[in-house]
Structures are given as structure tokens and as C-alpha cells.
Amino acid sequence: GAGVSQSPRYKVAKRGQDVALRCDPISGHVSLFWYQQALGQGPEFLTYFQNEAQLDKSGLPSDRFFAERPEGSVSTLKIQRTQQEDSAVYLCASSYPGSSYEQYFGPGTRLTVT
């Protein structure tokens, strides 16, 4: 079956622009996670949804970052007034109850802020 998909795969934004990154989880997956992976680093947790409820947003680095999942399926991560330090790969993962909540990752969106 189809895996987790993310779009766009690459995004170049000028400093100060707003961007929106999309994640399509695996059908039926209740949980959805966003991670940020800086160059040469491991992914770092940003936020977590269970269905449409955002249960944990403790990893969002500033109030410029906002995520939503209004119908409990597709999720969008929005970054307002982008800064150079926002340049990273943004990974989305989904999981379902059981199987130890194994997370399935999408290919990521590489954001470059110039």
C-alpha cells in the first residue's frame, strides 16, 4: 500500500516568507508526528496529533511554527516569517495502535531559507 507522502519535496523560501508543508499519512493511521532534521543531526520532535487533536506541541521552536490536522488525516506544518535557522528537512511520520506504535516516515521536505 501507499506509504507516507510529503509535499513539496523541496522548498526554497526567502527570509520572511511563509511556507506550508503537507503530509499525507498512511490511511487509517491515527497518530501523526512532525520532526525537524537539521543538517548532520538526528530528527527532533516538533509536534504530535492523535486524529485531529494536537496532543503535544512541546517541540515547536517558536510561535512562528503552527501545525494542524483538521479532519484527522492530512496535516500541514506552517512556518511564518521564515528565518535562516529554519532551514532543515521536515519529516512526517504516522503510526497506528498496536505494533508498538511503530512510526512510518515520509521522504521529508527539504526547506532552504535564503
Binding site for other proteins (CB under 8 A): 4, 30-31, 33, 35, 40-45, 48, 50, 56, 59, 91, 93, 95, 97, 100-108, 110
In the bound complex, what is the minimum distance in angstroms from residue 26's beta carbon to other proteins? Answer: 12
Phi–psi pair at 28, nearest 5 degrees = 90, -10
| Count of positions (residues) in the chain | 114
In the bound complex, what is the minimum distance in angstroms from residue 108's beta carbon to other proteins? Answer: 5
In this structure, the strands spanning 75-79 and 19-24 are: antiparallel
Distance CA 61, CA 110 (A): 17
Q: Which is nearer to other proteins, 44 or 68 (CB)?
A: 44
In the bound complex, what is the minimum distance in angstroms from residue 52's beta carbon to other proteins? Answer: 15
Taking alpha carbons only, the member of 64, 34, 54 closest to residue 46 is 34
Q: Which is nearer to other proteins, 61 or 97 (CB)?
A: 97
